[in-house]
């Protein structure tokens, strides 16, 4: 069930309506059933997978939490990690590794392995809930939290529908206690949740889905004559598409959660106003970047292993982060570009990178913002391209400087649809609010929500464009 | 009134604000939906035209001379009044379904025949990729062209997921939802330069079909449609529409039709590109010329069946 469909609207209204009429246990049962319906809406067979994975983690964590024997603790941690990564690897990466191994064998002149590729659909959101499960078992192993006593609570923590498909990836220490304790109706939170939902719908349905039209055509080589203009417009359009899409999803997820008394972490903070790549990763997909930091970069040694070790850990983290997004080498390259960029930035600009944006001159600030935005766009080119051939093909044609009327139309569309999101970001950067008018009077916020809803009603691109991060 | 110091975290907000916000959202949503639907119904060219064409098509009864031209927007390149004038022995009606494919015509014919439409001949006028392509009109379909009872069959035929199927059901009960693409298109065309051009560009097909695929898909579809229409005493006929650059595809569709004994005819194989206003649609002069050529060709194609 997609967030931007009437079915979800009715589903959410019904769930919220029933939810506040029940006690905590009833609420949790209702939410678990609703979350499984939400997930099964794609394909009922996927329910077995998430349920199996939940059962394994729940019991492994209990054994890890109760056992004093380090060997047993490690064993159950390993079982849980292997099961989780096994499911992820089987459904998401099996074909990728078989293909890659066959290509390598072919290059080396060796016989190609006779392994049949899988014909299975990727379960939606498997990367997200796997990371959440890994965080849980690791936290229990590290004794940073107690294992959940109730299977119902734990199953709900994993499957709570607002975050199930595309995050934000919730930390066990943040969400699990909310599931385990009573939620009280908070009118403030409810009111702001409604506004976040409409703000998110605007980002997704109006901004992202319109930019998608341009990006899709440019990457298919159909935005006029392929050249500098089509590549640049295509990459710009994709940059705003993926930002609108994912930040919109996160807003709707957070807003929906707030209607039921939950709080989810903020996932985006004006990423295209970042003044360095490090700053970008503090603003983009924050729940993933902090997860990678805490469960990968720091356990690898972080910056405690000397200069070379730090760069190695940085690269490994970004490469794995790239691969997490999808089973394609272009995603790995995307991660690699960010890894190299972060390492170079650390090496060359360390002092300046730490310089606070407020201390820079406006011109310097904008130069850095524009530079970082274009570095990020260069990486998006590989992220969006279906293959290296497509990515390098788009780069190769950039010598052709032809500008056609269709490029003007595409530029006008971009300005009309990405422009408002950019303006909103500038405003949010100034006010440090989570959404426009957050700290203003209720009437301002109501006007904002109504405006967003009107824009969504009239300007939403209608073809179903699945949220990009659903596939991850 | 606006206060930059009032923090949402510290100041409790009474329930009345939530009720007020929900009411404002509901009122605005209802006003937009009702207003836009009313405007589209009364002033939208497609809506008013379809209503008129649908009413006119109701005249067709089995009398051996009723012809319904049905297809996509390329059917605008046929002038129905001129065609009727040039074919006095026939009762000719036109049903233009803008932006449609085989699936749309199939389900629309199911609905219309169920509602009593009885043409003797249905002549499909479209581009070849609209016959074998896997697209369809989406959420607009339930507004006029598909029975709610057929939506589940459509979802099964087109392998739609539950989300897309639910949207179709919602379209069947909410006219605005079905029309929203047209509403958006009208607004964008009015306010954003080049929108129409960009959308035409964006809607160009992307999937490439092999000849074998085209022959199989087109053949199977034409047979299915013919069988369904034959149950109502109606014969299916396919017209080759002379859009430039379609010759190879038409050749395959013609082969598929011939192998399955589906009548297929051409009024003219080639019309000068200059007479088209875009890649597919003829301008005023081209329409007159094509219609003039179509009349005798269609008469010749249909008359043998009439004699039987």
DSSP string, A359-370: GS-HHHHHHHHH
Q: Which ipTM score applies to this complex?
A: 0.74
- Closest-CA distance, B186 to chain A, in angstroms, reads 10
Residue of A416, A440, A450 lying closest to B28 (CB–CB): A450
Instruction: State how many domains chain B has.
Output: 1
What is the average pLDDT across B81-91? 93
Choose, from A163, A285, A325, A407, the residue flagged as catalytic: A325
Domain that holds residue B226: 44-135+205-307
Handedness of CA A130, A131, A132, A135 (dihedral sign): positive
Residues in chain B: 308
User: Is B166–A7 a contact, with Cβ atoms under 8 angstroms apart?
Assistant: yes
Q: Which tokens belong to B189?
A: 């065309």
| B206 contacts A464? CB cut-off 8 A | no
At residue B136, the pLDDT reads: 87
B12: confidence class by pLDDT, cuts 50, 70, 90: low
Instruction: Answer yes or no: is pLDDT of B9 > 70.
Output: no
Establish if B131 belongs to a structural domain: yes
Indicate whether A178 pLDDT > 90: yes
Give me the pLDDT at residue B3, please. 38
The number of CA neighbours under 13 Å toward the Cβ of A284 is: 22
* Contact in structure between B193 and A411 (CB atoms under 8 Å): no
What is the distance between the alpha carbons of residues B117 and B61, in angstroms, rounded to a whole number? Answer: 7
C-alpha distances out from residue A217 to A207, A210, A222, A331, B21, Å: 16, 12, 5, 20, 39
| Shortest Cα–Cα distance, A119 to chain B (Å) | 17
Report if residue B57 sits inside a domain. Answer: yes
The answer as to whether B2 is a domain residue is no
- Which of B8, B17, B199 has its CB closest to that of A439? B8
**Residue B248 or A104, more confident:** B248
CB B287 within 8 A of CB B76: yes
- Residue B177 inside a domain? The answer is no
Residue of A192, A409, A445 lying closest to B194 (CB–CB): A409
Give chain B's radius of gyration (CA, Å): 23
Tell me which of A108-112, A271-275, A463-467 is least confident: A463-467
For residue B204, pLDDT over 70 is answered with no
In a domain, B172, yes or no: no
pLDDT in tens, A105-155: 777 777 776 777 667 777 888 888 999 999 999 999 999 999 999 999 999
Structure confidence at residue A150 (pLDDT): 94
What's the half-sphere exposure (Cβ side, CA atoms, 13 Å) at B14?
2
Q: What is the pLDDT of residue B5?
A: 39
pLDDT at B181: 83
Pick from A8, A458, A460, A470 the residue to mutate for testing the B interface (most B CBs within 10 Å).
A458
Is residue A211 over pLDDT 60?
yes
The rounded Cα A205 to chain-centroid distance in angstroms is 17
Q: Does residue B259 fall inside a structural domain?
A: yes
Convert the pLDDT of each residue in B110-138 to its tens digit.
Answer: 999 888 888 999 999 999 999 998 888 88
- Looking at residue A163, its pLDDT comes to 92
Answer positive or negative: Cα dihedral of A249, A255, A261, A264: positive
In this prediction, residue A452 carries a pLDDT of 92
**Contacting residues of B for A192, CB less than 8 Å apart:** 8
Select the residue from B7, B10, B18, B34 to test the A interface by mutation, using most A Cβ atoms within 10 A: B18
How many residue contacts between A and B have a Cβ separation below 8 Å? 142
Beta bridge partners of B240: B126, B266
Residue B85 CB contacts under 8 Å (≥ 6 apart), including other chains: none
Q: Give the chain A residue nearest B24 (alpha carbons).
A: A450
B222-243 pLDDT, tens digit each: 999 999 999 888 999 999 999 8
> Which of B33, B163, B195 faces A7 most closely, judged by CB atoms?
B163
Greater model confidence, A271 or B116: A271
Residue with tokens 């650059």: B245
In the numeric block, which tokens belong to residue B138? 């989406």
Among A5, A192, A446, whose Cβ lies nearest the Cβ of B24?
A446
A106 is catalytic: no
Flag if B18 and A406 touch (Cβ within 8 Å). Answer: no
Q: How many CB atoms lie within 10 A of CB B43?
A: 10
CATH number of the domain that B256 lies in? 3.40.50.1110
Q: Decide if B236 is inside a domain.
A: yes
Give, in degrees to the nearest 5, the angle at Cα B288 between B287 and B293.
Answer: 95
Kindly report whether the peptide bond that precedes residue A168 is cis, defined as omega within 30 degrees of 0: yes
Beta carbons of A15 and A31 less than 8 angstroms apart: yes
Identify the burial level of A297 via C-beta atoms within 10 angstroms of its C-beta, where 0-12 means exposed, 13-18 middle and 19 or more buried.
Answer: buried
A462 and B181 in contact by Cβ < 8 A? Answer: yes
CA distance B140 to A98: 43
* Residue of B27, B198, B199, B278 to mutate when probing chain A, most A C-beta within 10 A: B198
Would B145 be classed as within a structural domain? no
Would you say B163 and A7 are in contact if contact means Cβ atoms under 8 Å apart? yes
A455 touches B180 (CB < 8 A): no
Chain-centroid distance, C-alpha A170: 12
CA-CA distance, A331 to A93, in Å (whole number)?
13
CA distance A412 to chain B (A): 7
Q: Mean pLDDT lowest for which of A23-37, A296-310, B66-80?
A: A296-310
**How far is the alpha carbon of A208 from chain B, nearest alpha carbon, in Å?**
15
């Amino acid at each position: 069930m997609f967030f931007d469909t009437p079915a979800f609207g009715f589903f959410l209204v019904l769930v919220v309506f029933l939810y506040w009429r029940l006690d905590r246990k009833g609420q949790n049962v209702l939410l678990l059933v609703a979350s499984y319906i939400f997930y099964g809406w794609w394909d009922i067979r996927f329910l077995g997978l998430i349920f199996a994975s939940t059962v394994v983690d729940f019991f492994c964590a209990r054994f890890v939490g109760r056992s004093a024997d380090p060997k047993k603790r490690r064993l159950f941690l390993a079982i849980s990690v292997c099961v989780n990564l096994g499911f992820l690897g089987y459904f998401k990466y099996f074909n990728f590794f078989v293909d890659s191994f066959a290509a390598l064998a072919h290059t080396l002149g060796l016989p190609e392995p006779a392994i049949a590729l899988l014909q299975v659909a990727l379960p939606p959101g498997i990367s997200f809930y796997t990371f959440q499960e890994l965080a849980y078992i690791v936290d229990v192993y590290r004794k940073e939290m107690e294992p959940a006593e109730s299977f119902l609570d734990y199953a709900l923590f994993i499957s709570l529908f607002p975050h199930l498909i595309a995050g934000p990836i919730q930390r066990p220490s943040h969400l699990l206690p909310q599931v385990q304790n009573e939620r009280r109706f908070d009118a403030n939170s409810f009111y702001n949740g409604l506004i976040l939902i409409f703000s998110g719908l605007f980002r997704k349905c109006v901004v992202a889905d319109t930019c998608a039209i341009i990006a899709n055509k440019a990457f298919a080589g159909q935005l006029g004559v392929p050249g500098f203009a089509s590549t640049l417009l295509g990459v710009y359009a994709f940059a705003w598409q993926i930002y609108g899409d994912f930040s919109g999803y996160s807003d709707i997820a957070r807003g929906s959660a707030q209607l039921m008394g939950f709080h989810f972490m903020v996932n985006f903070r004006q990423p295209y106003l970042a003044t360095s790549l490090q700053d970008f990763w503090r603003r983009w997909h924050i729940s993933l970047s902090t997860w990678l930091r805490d469960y990968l970069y720091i356990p690898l040694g972080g910056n405690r292993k000397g200069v070379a070790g730090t760069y190695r850990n940085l690269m490994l983290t970004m490469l794995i982060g790239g691969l997490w997004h999808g089973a394609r080498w272009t995603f790995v390259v995307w991660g690699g570009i960010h890894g190299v960029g972060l390492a170079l930035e650390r090496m060359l600009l360390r002092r300046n990178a730490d310089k606070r944006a407020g201390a820079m001159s406006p011109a310097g600030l904008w130069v850095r913002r524009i530079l970082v935005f274009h570095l990020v766009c260069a990486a998006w080119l590989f992220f969006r391209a279906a293959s290296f051939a497509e990515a390098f093909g788009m780069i190769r044609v950039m010598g052709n400087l032809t500008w056609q009327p269709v490029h003007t139309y595409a530029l006008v569309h971009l300005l009309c649809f990405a422009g408002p999101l950019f303006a909103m970001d500038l405003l949010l950067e100034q006010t440090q609010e989570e959404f426009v008018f957050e700290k203003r009077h209720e009437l301002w916020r109501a006007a904002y929500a109504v405006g967003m809803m009107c824009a969504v009603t009239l300007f939403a691109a209608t073809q179903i464009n699945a949220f990009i991060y659903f596939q991850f | 009134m606006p206060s930059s110091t009032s923090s949402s975290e510290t100041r409790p907000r009474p329930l009345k604000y939530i009720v007020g916000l929900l009411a404002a959202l509901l009122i605005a949503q209802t006003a937009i939906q009702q207003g836009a639907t009313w405007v589209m119904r009364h002033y939208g060219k497609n809506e008013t035209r379809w209503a008129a064409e649908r009413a006119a098509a109701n005249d067709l009864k089995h009398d051996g001379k009723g012809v319904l031209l049905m297809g996509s927007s390329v059917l605008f390149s046929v002038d129905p009044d001129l065609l009727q004038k040039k074919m006095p022995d026939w009762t000719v009606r036109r049903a233009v379904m803008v932006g449609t494919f085989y699936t749309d015509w199939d389900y629309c014919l199911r609905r219309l025949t169920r509602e009593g439409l009885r043409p003797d001949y249905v002549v499909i006028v479209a581009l070849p990729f609209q016959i074998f392509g896997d697209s369809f009109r989406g959420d607009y379909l339930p507004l006029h062209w598909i029975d709610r009872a057929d939506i589940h069959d459509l979802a099964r035929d087109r392998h739609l997921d539950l989300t897309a199927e639910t949207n179709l059901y919602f379209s069947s009960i909410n006219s605005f939802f079905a029309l929203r693409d047209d509403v958006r298109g009208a607004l964008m065309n009015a306010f954003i330069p080049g929108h129409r051009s960009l959308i035409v560009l964006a809607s160009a097909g992307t999937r490439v079909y092999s000849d074998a695929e085209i022959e199989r898909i087109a053949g199977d579809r034409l047979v299915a449609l013919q069988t369904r229409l034959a149950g109502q005493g109606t014969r299916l006929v396919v017209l080759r529409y002379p859009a430039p650059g379609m010759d190879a595809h038409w050749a395959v569709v013609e082969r598929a039709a011939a192998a399955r004994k589906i009548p297929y005819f051409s009024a003219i194989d080639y019309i000068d590109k200059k007479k088209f206003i875009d890649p597919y649609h003829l301008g005023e002069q081209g329409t007159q010329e094509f219609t003039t050529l179509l009349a005798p060709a269609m008469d010749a194609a249909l008359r043998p069946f009439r004699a039987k």
